[in-house]
């Protein structure tokens, strides 16, 4: 932690946290910052729950045969883990929590465009999450988070409440996305042009486009599954003339872009953090902007790569494979740009930077495995094995959770006005990264060996790698608990941070930390783009 020049002793008195201390003042707030903090608390809670479910799964997999639970309990447990992590944690984590908090601050606005809708999205989220979880504990769906028909329409478990819960959460997502698009279009401060926007804002904007366009399709497809169960509608049931593959097409039309809902905002976080902690402008701002928009556009045309083994036409497989290669190139561009941003910088080794480096490495590996799937022939071996499990955990945990932790540490002083113990944070970051590697590299090798996913029981030759993975998972869990511990401590006892403890030139730091209720007493001016640490004339071309 770099100490700021003058150590203030108290938080500024006019901050948004001090503006009303009652529960009522939080429940009825229209302040985007308080809504962001509420989302942060809720998503952290569900992250914890999802993590507990994950550990239960890992313990069951320690030995072949029954370890702590039977097949039905295992099947319900992985559904619970998937639904919790995807819809209750991943999708709202960065956009709804950090996006809500930061986007208005970054564009010099006093709030988002529709504050009341914003509050409604919190309530929709809580309602949907409650219904889904109630259903999970009451009856417990055992379909996996993908709800593939005809299994999901014929299984005897309680699928309906889960479908309904996810359906309602979908509305929360749409409202959030709608709000962000309108905010970025209409509330930018005077003088803040599109190509001066912070890269996090671009990332959230790209995410919002996917949120509003993809989520309605999910809503409808879940409703069709529900109708299938209630009235035997027949749309996806081969016995009634329907086609189960249509479900997969519609589902992945949402769920593939949904991957980008989870990963695009994390790329935005990394773009900010890498600049802030190396005191450098982005190596290629416009490449990152265009690749963000490229991902949100091309991401809509790659869903078929989840279905290479399903019997879709060979031509279809080829087209989707080629499109997937195009999406991968956008990610590759970003990785090179982040790496290049470090060049000739002034790098501070703080926890967010360590997470950023971990992020880049894991995103690269996870992405390259994705590229391997897109060759179509390799996918025939790996599809639906632990290789896929490892692949999306590399992206979802290795990239998104790392970015989430980077964001949590980078913006902790912004949100709460206090710093955390820096050395401890660095240690925990290394622990989390090693725990991650130990958990998921064995899973990747398990996939090579041919271990299919969603197996409660397995042939004995897979056991060694499973034990290694479970060991890694315990390490990862321990690291995460450490972080929870010192951040909770810092919330009350951390040193007062001051307005800009990192010396960052990101636009969100133009306001006081923590910001006052209406962010800016005077709208700030924007003479340059974000993260310009050098005087304008000192422009040096990249010498490779």
Partner 1 sequence: MPPEAATEHWGSEGARQQAAHLGMWIFIATEVLLFASLFTSYGVYRSVYPEAFRAAQLTMDVGLGTLNTFLLVTSSILVALAVHAVREDRPGLGGVLLGAAALLGIVFLAVKGVEYAHHVKEGSLPGDFYRLREVPQVGASLFFTLYFLLTGFHALHVTVGVGLLTVLAVRSASGTFSAAYTTPVELGGMYWHLVDVIWLFVYPILYLS
Partner 2 sequence: MNELLRRLFFLPEQGSTFAVKVDHLHYFLFLTTLVVATGIGVTGLTFLVRYHRGTAPTPTPRVVAPPWLEGLFIGVPLSFFLLWFVLGFRQYVWVSSPPRDALDVYVTGKQWMWKFTYPGGPSAIDTLVVPAGRPVRLLITSRDVIHSFYVPDFRMKRDAVPGRYTEIWFEAPKPGRHLVLCAEYCGLDHSQMRGEVVVLKPADFEAWRAAQLGGVPVAGLPGAATKPQPESMAVRGEHVAAAQGCLQCHTITGAPHIGPTWLGLYGRREPLEGGGVVLADEAYLTESMMDPLAKVVAGYVPVMPGYHGLLSAEDAGALVEFIKSLQPTRPGVTAAQEPAYVPIRR
Contact footprint for partner 1 (CB under 8 A): 109-111, 113-115, 174, 177-179, 181-183, 185-187, 190, 212-217, 219-221, 224, 227-228, 231-235, 240-243, 246, 250, 253, 518
Q: Which is nearer to partner 1, 245 or 372 (CB)?
A: 245
Beta bridge pairs of residue 496: 418
204 close to 95: Cβ distance less than 8 angstroms: yes
In total, the chain counts a number of residues equal to: 544
In this structure, the number of other CB atoms found within 10 A of the CB of residue 305 comes to 23
Residue of 43, 75, 302, 512 interacting with partner 2 (CB under 8 A): 75
Which is nearer to partner 2, 426 or 523 (by Cβ)?
426
Q: Give whichever of 43 and 337 is closer to partner 2, judged by the CB atom.
A: 337
Our CB check for partner 1 shows the closer of 30 and 453 to be 30
Q: Which residues on adjacent β-strands are paired with residue 242?
A: none
Q: How many CA atoms lie within 13 A of 85 on its CB side?
A: 21
Q: What angle do CA 333, 391, 209 make, to 5 degrees?
A: 55
Write down the least CB distance from residue 265 to partner 1, Å.
18
340 touches, from partner 2, partner 1, none (C-beta below 5 to 8 Å by class)? partner 2
- Of 188 and 280, nearer to partner 1 (C-beta) is 188
Find the binding residues for partner 2 in span 474-493 (CB under 8 A).
Answer: none
Size of the residue set binding partner 2 (CB under 8 A): 96
The rounded radius of gyration (Å) of the Cα atoms in the chain is: 23
Return the residues of window 296-355 that contact partner 2 according to CB under 8 A. Answer: 308-311, 314, 317-318, 321-322, 325, 328-329, 332-333, 335-337, 339-340, 342-349
Q: Which among 255-263, 397-405, 441-449, 487-495 is the span making contact with partner 2, rule CB under 8 A?
A: 441-449
Please, which residue, 66 or 185, has the CB nearer to partner 2?
66
Report in angstroms how near the CB of residue 302 gets to partner 1 at its nearest.
17
Omega of the bond leading into 384 within 30 degrees of 0 (cis): no
Please report whether residue 232 would count as binding partner 2 according to CB under 8 A.
Answer: no
Euclidean distance between CA atoms 507 and 529, whole angstroms: 9
Site for partner 2 in 44-73 (CB under 8 A): 71-72
Distance CA 93, CA 97 (A): 6
Distance CA 94, CA 410 (A): 13
Specify the residue, 403 or 445, whose C-beta has the smaller distance to partner 2. Answer: 445
> Alpha-carbon distance 62 to 69, whole Å?
12
Tokens 């000739």 map to which residue?
344
Indicate the SS3 state at residue 41.
helix
404 binds, among partner 2, partner 1, none (CB under 5 to 8 A by kind): none
Which of 87-95, 176-184, 189-197, 368-376 is the region at the interface with partner 2 (rule: CB under 8 A)?
A: 368-376
Q: How far is the CB of 182 from partner 1 (least distance, A)?
A: 5
Helix (H) or strand (E) holding 172: helix 160-186
Q: Burial letters for 8-45: b for 16+ Cβ neighbours within 10 Å, e otherwise?
A: eeebbeebbbeeeeeeeebeebebbbbbbbbbbebbbe
Distance, in Å, from the CA atom of 38 to the CA atom of 370, rounded to the nearest integer, reads: 34
CB closer to partner 1 out of 235 and 451: 235
Specify the DSSP class assigned to residue 507: G
By a kind-dependent CB cut-off of 5 to 8 A, residue 293 interacts, out of partner 2, partner 1, none, with none
Choice between 175 and 270, CB closer to partner 2: 270
Tell me which stretch binds partner 2 (CB under 8 A): 390-398, 415-423, 511-519, 534-542.
Answer: 534-542
Contact with partner 2 (CB under 8 A): which of 459, 481, 493, 525? 459
DSSP letter string, 245-296: HHHHHHHHHHHHHHHHHHHHHHHHHHHHHHHHHHT---TTHHHHHHHHHHHH
Map the footprint of partner 2 across residues 116-145, applying CB under 8 A.
142-144
Q: Considering CB distances under 5 to 8 angstroms, the limit depending on partner class, which of partner 1, partner 2, none binds residue 304? A: none
DSSP secondary structure code for residue 78 in this structure: H
Q: Which of residues 234-273 bind partner 2 (CB under 8 A)?
A: 238-241, 243-245
Residue 416 CB, shortest distance to partner 1, in Å, is 23
The minimum distance between CB 235 and partner 2, in angstroms, equals 13
Q: Which two tokens stand for residue 147?
A: 């709800």
Which CA distances in Å does 52 have to 61, 445, 476, 480, 483?
14, 24, 12, 12, 16
Closest approach, Cβ 255 to partner 2, in A, equals 15
- Residue 31 or residue 142: which is nearer to partner 2 going by CB? 142
**For residue 162, which of 238, 76, 244, 272 has the smallest C-alpha distance?**
76
Instruction: Name the minimum Å distance from CB 214 to partner 2.
Output: 23
Task: Pick one of 357, 415, 428, 438: the residue that binds partner 2 (CB under 8 A).
Answer: 357
- What whole-number distance in Å separates Cα of residue 301 and Cα of residue 267? 20
Q: Which of 446, 423, 445, 432 is nearest to 474 (CA)?
A: 432
Among 100, 385, 400, 443, binds partner 2 (CB under 8 A): 385
Pairwise CA distance, residues 525 & 473, whole Å? 47
Question: Which of partner 1, partner 2, none does residue 217 bind (CB under 5 to 8 Å by kind)?
Answer: partner 1
User: Which residues in 268-297 contact partner 2 (CB under 8 A)?
Assistant: 278-281, 283-285, 287
């Amino acid at each position: 932690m770099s100490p700021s020049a003058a150590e203030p002793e108290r938080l500024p008195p006019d901050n948004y946290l001090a503006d009303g201390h009652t529960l009522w003042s939080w429940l009825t707030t229209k302040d985007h910052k308080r809504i962001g903090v509420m989302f942060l608390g809720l998503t952290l809670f569900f992250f914890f729950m999802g993590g507990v479910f994950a550990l239960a799964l890992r313990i069951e997999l320690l030995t072949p045969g029954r370890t702590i639970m039977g097949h039905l309990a295992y099947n319900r447990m992985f559904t619970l883990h998937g639904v919790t992590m995807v819809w209750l944690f991943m999708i709202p984590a960065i956009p709804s929590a950090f996006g809500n908090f930061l986007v208005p601050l970054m564009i010099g606005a006093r709030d988002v465009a529709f504050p009341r809708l914003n509050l409604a999205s919190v309530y929709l989220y809580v309602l949907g999450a409650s219904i889904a979880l109630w259903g999970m504990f009451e009856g417990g769906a055992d379909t996996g988070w993908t709800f593939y028909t005809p299994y999901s329409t014929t299984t005897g478990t309680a699928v309906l409440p889960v479908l309904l819960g996810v359906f309602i959460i979908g509305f929360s997502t749409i409202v959030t996305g709608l709000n962000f698009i309108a905010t970025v279009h209409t509330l930018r401060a005077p003088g803040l042009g599109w190509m001066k926007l912070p890269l996090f804002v671009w990332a959230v904007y790209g995410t919002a486009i996917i949120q509003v366009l993809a989520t309605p399709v999910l809503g409808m497809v879940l409703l069709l599954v529900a109708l299938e169960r209630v009235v035997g509608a027949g749309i996806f049931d081969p016995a009634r003339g329907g086609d189960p593959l249509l479900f997969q097409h519609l589902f992945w039309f949402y769920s593939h872009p949904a991957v980008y809902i989870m990963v695009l905002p994390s790329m935005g976080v990394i773009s900010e953090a890498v600049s802030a902690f190396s005191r450098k402008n982005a190596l290629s701002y416009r490449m990152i902007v265009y690749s963000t928009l490229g991902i949100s556009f091309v991401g809509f045309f790659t869903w078929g790569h989840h279905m290479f083994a399903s019997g879709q036409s060979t031509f279809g497989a080829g087209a989707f494979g080629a499109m997937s290669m195009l999406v991968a190139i956008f990610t590759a561009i970003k990785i090179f740009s982040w790496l290049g941003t470090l060049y000739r910088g002034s790098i501070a080794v703080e926890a967010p930077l360590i997470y950023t480096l971990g992020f880049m490495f894991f995103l690269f590996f996870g992405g390259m495995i994705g590229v391997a799937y897109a060759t179509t022939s390799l996918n025939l071996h790996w599809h639906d094995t632990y290789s896929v499990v490892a692949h999306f955990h590399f992206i979802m945990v290795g990239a998104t959770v790392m970015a989430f932790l980077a964001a949590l540490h980078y913006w902790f002083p912004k949100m709460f006005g206090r710093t955390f113990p820096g050395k401890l944070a660095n240690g925990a970051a290394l622990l989390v990264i090693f725990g991650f590697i130990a958990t998921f590299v064995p899973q990747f090798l398990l996939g090579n060996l041919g271990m299919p996913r969603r197996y409660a029981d397995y042939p004995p030759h897979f056991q060694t790698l499973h034990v290694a993975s479970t060991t890694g998972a315990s390490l990862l869990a321990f690291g995460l608990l450490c972080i929870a511990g010192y951040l909770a401590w810092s919330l009350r006892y951390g040193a007062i941070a001051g307005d800009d403890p990192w010396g960052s030139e990101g636009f969100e730091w133009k306001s006081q930390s923590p910001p006052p209720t209406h962010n800016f007493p005077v709208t700030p001016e924007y003479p340059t783009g974000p993260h310009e640490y050098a005087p304008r004339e000192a422009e040096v071309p990249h010498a490779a």
